[in-house]
Structure 1
């Protein structure tokens, strides 16, 4: 082998050696560069770099059934929050707390007052001395002036542990000042509105958060055999999250066997109905069911129910069949208190606030709307269920509940 052959064979080896040297040098420079760049930023915890929970949920579950577009939509909605949080890593003096309530991210957590109450306060003195007693429960009545004597008797059945809130559908409030308790009560007046219209707008869960139980009652209930404190004791004893007093068999308009009082027990949670009325013995109206005339909600149950109330369906018809969605298991946590019972007197009141036309009475138009709202609510709940199950790729018809 002559010199030229040896030179040609040695050239590739030297080229590979040079390439390796350059690669190692590049890696070394990159490591050093990365080190100096990292050192130039403030220290941070890896826990701060995390996906916002909705995105994290979508991406971590490969079998969730969510489409790519759904994930992109979530990212689009939350990208501003991510960018703001990232910028605050550069400038710690700017407050940004993603776990704060929406809109309050710029406030330090210790100053955020995310809940309120209905406790009237003085205009003078120390705030800490404003309240001599903090009511633990709330009772509301939607009333008209004609029912003053009756409501006066009903309110006397509720102890000082209750905040009294009157919703006035006839616009008359000062007329109630003849009652001493009325001067301490809260009055809200909007003409010709229903109790569920009021509840959706004035009983937000964050506003009434201090109350353990919320009574949302009609104005035509006889309470001769009812004691509010004893009722609360029974509700707690039997673990009822949603309840109502039993209805005396003499009550007008008694429709459901579930709400009819039984004289041989404190509470009942299920019943037998007419053939074909119950597709499942654990579902309404055989269980998990109370009517909307005199419901009582725990704080946690109300937080769910408030979201179930539809803004435009003001009469609440059909809501009683949807309540079972808000507690689990509903057939154990929804029930009727038999030992404390009421009488539904069926006094026509708000129905007469309708508008008579074409020879029809005002109440007829109100009743028609009630019935149409019931169908609309039922359809909305059904469609919402279908959309949800479709979004996760689940077919409930092929599933047997345990």
Structure 2
């Protein structure tokens, strides 16, 4: 098909010139006269859900996938090299599988969810594998996010003694909340994360526009994403309105140390201890880079 023909066919649903997506298309040759839309091309889903998975959590993921309709493209990032074992699940036949040994979801996302590739999707879900979704419905979640105009969000977390941040805990008397009532030392400024404009990196949901910014925040050489949740508000204006937790659709964090258990035991230390140490180290580097960038930008503005 020539360049001119491609441009004329845009109105009939052909992919725009020089764009990409994640739709899986037939491999055989298809000929269509007069640029009529081919019937055998798949419908483009509106949303994308990516889970970073190991096969040991396959039953949890299988239950989770049932909460998302065909409006979602399913992407599985495999960190354990066992991607072929998922073939037992019918939905896995239409999922996109990407495998890299012992890598985190932020490593995968930086390399395989480039903003230009996921441009057709209204929202991008980037979730961990150890989440219980019994009280969650994907379509209803999207309705609430649109209703409350949230660009960056997450479903609320059911109460647990292991929860890290009070900000993400479910409230029973609201659809959405954007701030916390926490009064502990973790919340030093009520107008900044983790008190306001904050979601965790466990189960974030991004609008397409927000993801384009967040993708650039993700550091190519830092794989765990620690500290990223404190900086997500940079990508939306104003963060106190555009970032929120959806109480009416909530999930349960099972606290399974799956990827953490993929580390190596050294000098009698458990594998997860080495992974956690790496996470803390990366957080320090990430914070320094952002501080340096902010200072450089401030100097340029002053000199300009």
The Cα of 1:282 is off from its aligned counterpart by 2.3
Q: Is the 8 A contact 1:114 1:206 kept in 2?
A: no
Partner of 2:24: 120
What residue is the counterpart of 2:284 in the other structure? 375
Confirm or deny that 1:154 pairs with 2:58.
Answer: no
Residue 179 in structure 1 maps to residue 83 in structure 2: no
Unaligned runs of 5+ in 1: 1-106, 395-402
Residues 1:138 and 2:42 aligned together: no
1:302 to 192, 202, 211: 211
For the aligned residues, what is the CA RMSD? 2.0
Residues 176 and 244, structure 2, Cα contact 8 Å, conserved in 1: yes
Q: What CA distance in whole angstroms lies between the structure 1 residues aligned with 2:62 and 2:75?
A: 13
Q: CA deviation at 1:110?
A: 5.6
Which one of the candidate residues 136, 146, 166 is aligned to 2:76?
Answer: 166
Give secondary structure in 2 for the equivalent of 1:387.
helix
SS at the partner of 1:129?
A: coil
Once residues 40 and 217 of structure 2 are traced to their aligned partners in structure 1, the CA distance between those partners, rounded to angstroms, is 35
Separation in structure 2 between the aligned mates of residue 275 and residue 224 of structure 1, nearest angstrom = 31
1:81-133 per-position Cα deviation (integer Å, ceiling 9, x unaligned): xxxxxxxxxxxxxxxxxxxxxxxxxx999698343110000012358334342
Q: Which runs of 5+ in 2 are unaligned?
A: 9-15, 32-36
Write the distance in 2 (CA, Å) between the matches of 1:260 and 1:307.
Answer: 28
Deviations 1:3-30 (A, max 9, x none): xxxxxxxxxxxxxxxxxxxxxxxxxxxx
Give, in angstroms, the shift of residue 283 of structure 1.
1.3
Aligned to 2:266: 357
User: Is 1:323 the equivalent of 2:227?
Assistant: no
2:101 is aligned, of 191, 195, 210, to 191
Tell me the distance in 2 between the aligned counterparts of 1:361 and 1:279. 33
- Asked if the contact 2:24–2:42 (Cα under 8 Å) also holds between the matched residues in 1, the reply is no
> Secondary structure in 2 aligned to 1:393?
helix
Measure, in 1, the Cα distance between the counterparts of 2:272 and 2:143: 38
TM-score by length of 1: 0.69
Write out per-residue CA displacement over residues 208-227 of structure 1, whole angstroms, 9 at most, x where no aligned residue.
Answer: 11000000000000000000
SS of the aligned residue for 1:284 comes to coil
Q: Distance in 2 between matches of 1:202 and 1:380?
A: 23
Query: Which of 211, 223, 230 is 1:314 aligned to?
Result: 223
CA contact 2:25–2:42 (8 Å) conserved in 1: no
Q: Secondary structure at the match of 1:297?
A: strand
1:7-156 residue pairs with structure 2 within 5 A? Answer: 113-124=17-28, 125-126=30-31, 128-156=38-66
CA contact (8 A) 1:137 1:162 kept: yes
The Cα offsets for residues 311-367 of structure 1, whole Å up to 9 and x where unpaired, read as: 111000000001000000001000000000000000110001112212212111101
Rounded Cα–Cα distance in structure 1 between residues aligned with 2:118 and 2:38: 19
User: Quick one: distance in 2 between partners of 1:179 and 1:365?
Assistant: 33
Contact 1:142/1:217 (CA < 8 Å) preserved in 2? Answer: yes
Q: Give the paired residue count.
A: 288
8 Å contact kept, 2:126–2:204: yes
Query: Do 2:175 and 2:247's aligned partners in 1 also have CA atoms closer than 8 Å?
Result: yes
How far the C-alpha of 1:279 sits from its partner, in A, is 4.6
Give 1:275 deviation, angstroms.
4.2
Per residue, is there more helix in 1 or in 2?
A: 1
Provide the residue aligned with 1:346 in structure 2: 255
Q: CA deviation at 1:280?
A: 3.5
Query: Aligned partners of 1:115 and 1:249: how far apart in 2?
Result: 43
